Structure 1
Amino acid sequence: MTNLAAKQSDIVETLPFVTAEVNYAGEISGRAVFDTVEPDKMNIAFVPSTVQIRDVRKVRDTFNLDTHGFAYVRHSSEAAARPELRDQNLTLQGVHSEINEVYQSEIAAYLQQLTGAREVIAQTSGLLVRTSNRAKKKSWATPATFVHLDFTEDSANKFLRWSLEETGIDIKPYRRFMVFQTWRVISGPPQDSTLAICDGRSASGTDAVVMDSVIGPRDKPGAFFESRLCLANPAHQWYYLSDMEPEDLLIFKGFDSDIPHSMNAMHTAFDDPSATDQAIPRVSVEARFFAFFD
């Protein structure tokens, strides 16, 4: 361990934390299947596990995409402040929306500047608004309360192909591409529910359980794809940012073609055990992007 890594490890040990229950993959017979179209074909099982989730607020700048697989940055969004971003995405809709495209353009430009990518484009159908169970206006997309990764090498390439076909964008040859996922609250603090993210260095490829996800007709692009569940491992190091504000943006790796089997970055929603009755029901927006490097 380098001196810098040892120093950061010492800092991490002093961070405040909450103790919460997260759901890892349980015993599954055969290929894991999550099927909302034919629920009788669903065979996934979960095992709850109690973990410590450390609050990065005091040391947020020490975490970065290259080392940990995630970063918390400050990013003001004009589109995120507009009520229609929430209201127009509470129900399942098509991939085209003026407010969605404005928001995605803001984030794409920021990601290009942050990462040095040659080009960044949004994943079509990759923007979702989620609400906690206490919200009066609930979204069709509920919080994903199990540890998972949204991409495998197969699905990352399929979503890229589908997005290029949908938009008609012509991408020049590239050496490497990455999927960046972004997540922010558009409700104020304190939240009753938030997102936990795992340090990619603390997870192994053997922790993954490949799963078929079916959310629509299998022949419809984006409705049938691979994702990954995760097995419990006491080595996993979990983090969150307390009392997030709309200017707080979580960016994390969903896929990296240079390290296609990496576990960057496992994540799960969880109910904050420190939340009181005055906590604000969480409303969050997530979006996904492809970044291309020469």
Structure 2
Amino acid sequence: MPIELVTNSIHHLADSTRTVQAYLEFTKRTGEKPYSYAGEPPAGVPRTRGEYRGHAVQVEDARPIADRLSLDVEGVAVVQRASVVRGFWDEAQTLALGHPETAQLVKDITGASRVVVFDHTLRRHQEGAADRTPDALRQPAKRVHVDQTILSGPKRVREIMGEQADALLTRRAAIINVWRPIAYPARDWPLAVGDVRTIDPDDLIAADLIFPLRKGETYGVAFNPAQRWLYIRNLQLDEALLIKCWDSDPSVARFAPHTGFEDPTTPPGTPLRQSIEFRTIAFFD
């Protein structure tokens, strides 16, 4: 199936060029490492540690420049390719069809010789619901973050690839998320992505993400007025965002911060966002 970089010639919008002011939630520097438990914490231990603050930022509609966005420059790419999956909430169908097509998509865009899809997360927005609560659907992420860090990226490769990891890590590897709206275009709580060129490495704040059987590490992001924020307004069902979460190559974009955000221009009655993100590791020769 052919793939196209998204241009401003598809999915015409009457007002496709716009910037919205939105509030994004950033991590405050406190001198203590933030953490969050993805499951139940030990008795007497708070579920989270960290301080966060919302800042008003300008989020630029990148639809007019979408064909020029690059995973290795800005840290994000937009592509047009319809999925063959007809029901992403059907786990068997998503695994059997969604994982292989996502691996091929990442190979096509990056030129990687091998791509492994190791995880996916479904989200369905519910007003007032908190994320990562027991027995509840995952909610849109509402805090600026990067899924991996300079330490957790290669660690995650080792966890997934086992005995193959050391040999694979002698060459370039990258962790890339593929994010799709499902059921409806992503007008409610779209995704904002920071242009990596404007993110000061000192603004990345490592935080522990503690699961029942393992501990990961992510980056929170401190606010900096020099940061540039992008989104694709009204991302369609046959489109996907690719987001760089870690790259072993220090000469390219490595860590692209991102978050869901409340777009103040979203019309009342817009269907609440449903989305899926696939997490992939791309290996290069």
TM-score, normalised to structure 2, is 0.83
Provide Cα deviations, 1:198-251, integer angstroms capped at 9, x if missing partner. 10000011001110111x32xx2xx41111101000011001111111111000
Q: Determine the C-alpha separation between the residues in 2 that align with 1:235 and 1:150.
A: 22
Shift of 1:98: 4.9
Structure 2 residue aligned with 1:133, among 106, 126, 139? 126
- Residue 114, structure 1, aligned to residue 112, structure 2: no
SS at match of 2:225: coil
Residue 58 of structure 1: CA displacement?
A: 2.2
1:32 aligns with 2:28: no
- Verify the 8 A CA contact 2:248 2:254 in the aligned structure 1: no
Distance 2:274 2:32 in 1: 36
**Superposed counterparts of 1:187-266, under 5 Å:** 187-189=183-185, 191-214=187-210, 216-217=211-212, 220=213, 223-259=214-250, 264-266=255-257
Distance in 2, matches of 1:208 and 1:186, equals 30
For residue 60 of structure 2, give the secondary structure of its aligned residue in structure 1.
Answer: strand
Letter in 1 for 2:27: A
Distance 1:263-1:133 versus aligned 2 partners, 3 A rule: farther
Q: Distance in 2 between matches of 1:288 and 1:133?
A: 23
Are 1:272 and 2:263 matched, yes or no? yes
Taking structure 1 as the reference length, what is the TM-score of the superposition?
0.81
Q: CA offsets, 1:175-209, max 9 Å, x none? A: 11111111010122362211100100000110011
Contact 1:178 1:290 in 2 (8 A): yes
Q: 1:65, 1:252 within 8 Å by CA — same for their partners in 2?
A: yes
Could you tell me how far apart the structure 1 residues matched to 2:166 and 2:29 are? 42
- Asked whether the 8 Å contact 2:72–2:252 carries over to 1, the reply is no
Contact 1:187–1:280 (CA under 8 A) maintained in structure 2: no
Change (3 A) 1:160 1:263: closer
CA contact (8 A) 1:190 1:279 kept: no
Judged with a 3 Å threshold, the aligned counterparts in structure 2 of structure 1 residues 139 and 261 are, in CA distance, closer, same or farther, namely farther
> In 1, are the aligned partners of 2:75 and 2:253 still within 8 Å (CA)?
no
Q: Say whether residues 1:105 and 2:100 are aligned partners.
A: yes
In the comparison of the two structures, how many residue pairs are matched?
260
Instruction: Tell me: CA distance 1:122–1:171, structure 2 relative to 1, closer, same or farther (3 Å).
Output: farther
Counterpart-to-counterpart distance in 1, 2:102 and 2:57: 31
**1:164 equivalent in structure 2:** 161
1:133 to partner: Cα distance: 2.0
- Cα distance in 2 for partners of 1:265, 1:20 equals 19
Post-superposition offset of 1:100: 2.1
- RMSD, matched Cα: 2.5
Of 15, 20, 23, the match for 2:22 = 20
Quick check: 1:286 aligned with 2:277? yes
- For structure 2, the residue ranges without an aligned partner over 5 or more in a row are 1-15, 130-134
Q: CA deviation at 1:262?
A: 5.8
Q: Distance in 1 between matches of 2:189 and 2:54?
A: 17
1:179 counterpart = 2:175: yes
Secondary structure of 2:268's aligned partner: coil
Residue 67 in structure 1 maps to residue 58 in structure 2: no
5+ residue gaps, structure 1, are 1-13, 89-96
Deviation sequence 1:54-96 (CA, Å, 0-9, x none):
11122211211122111111011101xx22x2254xxxxxxxx
Structure holding more helix per residue? 1
**Alpha-carbon distance in structure 1 between the residues aligned to 2:70 and 2:104:** 18
What's the secondary structure of 1:265's corresponding residue? coil
Find the counterpart in structure 1 of residue 89 from structure 2.
86
Determine the C-alpha separation between the residues in 1 that align with 2:233 and 2:221. 24
Partner of 1:3: none
1:58 to 51, 54, 64: 64
